[in-house]
Amino acid sequence: MNKLGPGKFEAIVERPGQATITVSDGKTTTPFQFRVKTIPDPVAKVGNSKGGRISLNEFKALPGVRADLENFVFENLKYNVISYTVICQGKAFPEKPGVTQVSGAAFDSQTRANIEKLGPNSSVMIDLIKANGPGGQVTLPAIVFYLY
Asked whether residue 9 carries a pLDDT value surpassing 90, the answer given is no
- pLDDT tens digits for range 104-147: 999 999 999 999 999 999 999 999 999 999 878 999 999 999 99
Pairing of strands 98-103, 80-89: antiparallel
Residues 6+ apart with CB under 8 A from 6: none
Tell me the DSSP string of 9-72. Answer: EE---SSSEEEEEEEE-SS-EEEEEEEE-PPPPPEEEETTB-SEEE-HHHHHT--BEEEE-TT-
pLDDT at residue 25, rounded to an integer: 85
Model pLDDT for residues 12-67, shown as the tens digit of each residue? 778 889 988 888 888 999 998 988 878 888 999 999 999 999 999 999 999 999 99
What is the average per-residue pLDDT within 61-78? Answer: 89
Q: Give the pLDDT confidence score for residue 71 in this predicted structure.
A: 83
Within 8 A by CB and 6+ apart from 126, the residues are: 44, 46, 65, 84, 85, 86, 87, 142, 143, 144, 145
Predicted pLDDT of residue 110: 97
Separation CA 36–CA 83 (nearest Å): 30
57-85: average pLDDT? 92
pLDDT at 59: 97
| pLDDT score for 128 | 98
What's the pLDDT at 12? 79
pLDDT, residue 5, reads 86
